């Protein structure tokens, strides 16, 4: 297979000063992409800032012959980050919403600031950067957007109600963006990575942090950002060299006309039976199913 290249393309990688984002920035640049290396350079809890993290990655890219520019704004200020791309390279083709922080604490001990900061960085950040890039992508009829979710969103994790909720929000965000981008050839997908990093040092044993190299995730992220990537509105997982897709499945369920609470309880096995479960791609498909139920309901009355 010919090497997948990104010549002529411009990417913003948020939170690219370390961890996963750094590997994306390095690999994109190695393959001809011009990269905006965004990083606030703060600590893992979202406080403080510095320019050194982004600068080091830019230096590494340039030393290897690639093209990159640093940006130190928080992802909440997407316009500034996109301006860096336009000023330096004149266009924007790829946005990898990767910046992230953790403020783990169980629900009753969670302060408003723990909730708000997580939503500001993960959700408001992805919204802000993507919205600023959108007009350029729409006008050029080309764009690749990636948001970064987490297994914590899908399965839940102790002490991460804030993070799980924010990471779930991003899946919905990308799924709706995929619909809005269809006619402009803008593809939006969600990545669920697992890797050792500064972020996961707090939740993983040290040997696992060292073994789960971020570079094992990078190939999928880059493919998702490539012109040839065929999918939109999908969720993919990567970690330890394993790559897969994640889908919502819905049971066939059962129409129980004029149901009482007891009727729902009595039909629980059929309602929750996942044997012939299926996945839907459009909200209208889910609604169509409800219209059939409504017809049965009306017939019964």
Binding site for ligand NAD (CB under 6 A): 14-15, 17-21, 38-42, 44, 46, 53, 74-75, 98-101, 121, 125, 148, 150, 193-195, 197-200
Distance in Å, CB of 226 to ligand NAD, minimum: 19
**For residues 137 and 217, which CB has a smaller minimum distance to ligand NAD in the complex?**
217
Place of tokens 């909440």: 76
Place of tokens 């096995």: 269
Distance in Å, CB of 203 to ligand NAD, minimum: 8
**For residues 40 and 94, which CB has a smaller minimum distance to ligand NAD in the complex?**
40
**For residues 202 and 281, which CB has a smaller minimum distance to ligand NAD in the complex?**
202
- With CB atoms as reference, the residue minimizing the distance to ligand NAD is 19
Distance in Å, CB of 14 to ligand NAD, minimum: 5
Please tell me what DSSP assigns to residue 98.
-
Q: Which of 24, 136, 142, 163 is catalytic?
A: 163
**For residues 10 and 16, which CB has a smaller minimum distance to ligand NAD in the complex?**
16
Place of tokens 């500001």: 120
CB atoms within 10 A of CB 83: 15
**For residues 128 and 232, which CB has a smaller minimum distance to ligand NAD in the complex?**
128
Active-site residue flag, 249: no
Please tell me what DSSP assigns to residue 51.
S
**Selection from 114, 108, 194, 107 nearest residue 149 by Cα:** 194
Q: What share of the chain is helix, strand, coil (3-state, %, to 5)?
A: 50, 15, 35
Place of tokens 């500034």: 80
**Alpha carbon 176 to chain centroid, angstroms:** 13
Distance in Å, CB of 188 to ligand NAD, minimum: 16
Contact 190, 234 (CB under 8 A): yes
Please tell me what DSSP assigns to residue 6.
-
H helices present in 182-254, as ranges: 206-211, 218-224
What is the length of the chain?
Answer: 301
Distance in Å, CB of 156 to ligand NAD, minimum: 13
Q: Rounded to the nearest 5°, which phi and psi values hold at 73?
A: -75, 150
Contact 233, 176 (CB under 8 A): no
The SS3 of residue 243 is strand
Distance in Å, CB of 197 to ligand NAD, minimum: 3
**For residues 189 and 194, which CB has a smaller minimum distance to ligand NAD in the complex?**
194
| Active-site residue set | 163
């Amino acid at each position: 297979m010919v090497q997948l290249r990104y010549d002529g393309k411009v990417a913003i990688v948020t939170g690219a000063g370390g961890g996963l984002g750094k590997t994306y920035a390095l690999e994109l640049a190695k393959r001809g992409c011009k990269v905006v290396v965004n990083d606030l350079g703060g600590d893992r809890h979202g406080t403080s800032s510095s320019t050194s993290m982004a600068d080091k990655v830019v230096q590494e890219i340039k030393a290897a012959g690639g093209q990159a520019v640093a940006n130190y704004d928080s992802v909440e200020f997407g316009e500034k980050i996109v301006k860096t791309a336009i000023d330096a390279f004149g266009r924007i083709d790829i946005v990898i919403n990767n910046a992230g922080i953790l403020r783990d604490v169980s629900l009753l001990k969670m302060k408003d600031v723990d909730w708000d900061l997580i939503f500001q960085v993960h959700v408001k950040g992805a919204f802000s950067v993507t919205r600023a890039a959108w007009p350029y992508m729409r006008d050029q009829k080309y764009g690749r957007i990636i948001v970064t979710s987490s297994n914590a969103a899908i399965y839940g994790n102790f002490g991460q109600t804030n993070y799980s909720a924010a990471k779930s929000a991003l899946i919905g965000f990308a799924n709706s963006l995929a619909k809005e981008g269809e006619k402009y050839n803008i593809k939006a997908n969600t990545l669920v990575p697992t890797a050792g990093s500064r972020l996961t040092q707090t939740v993983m044993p040290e040997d696992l942090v060292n073994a789960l190299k971020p570079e094992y995730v990078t190939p999928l992220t880059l493919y998702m950002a490539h012109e040839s990537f065929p999918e939109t509105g999908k969720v993919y997982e990567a970690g330890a060299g394993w790559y897969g897709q994640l889908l919502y499945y819905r049971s066939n369920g059962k129409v129980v006309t004029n149901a009482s609470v007891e009727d729902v309880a009595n039909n629980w096995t059929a309602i929750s039976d996942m044997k012939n479960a299926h996945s839907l791609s459009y909200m209208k498909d889910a609604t169509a199913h409800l219209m059939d139920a409504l017809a049965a309901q009306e017939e019964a009355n």
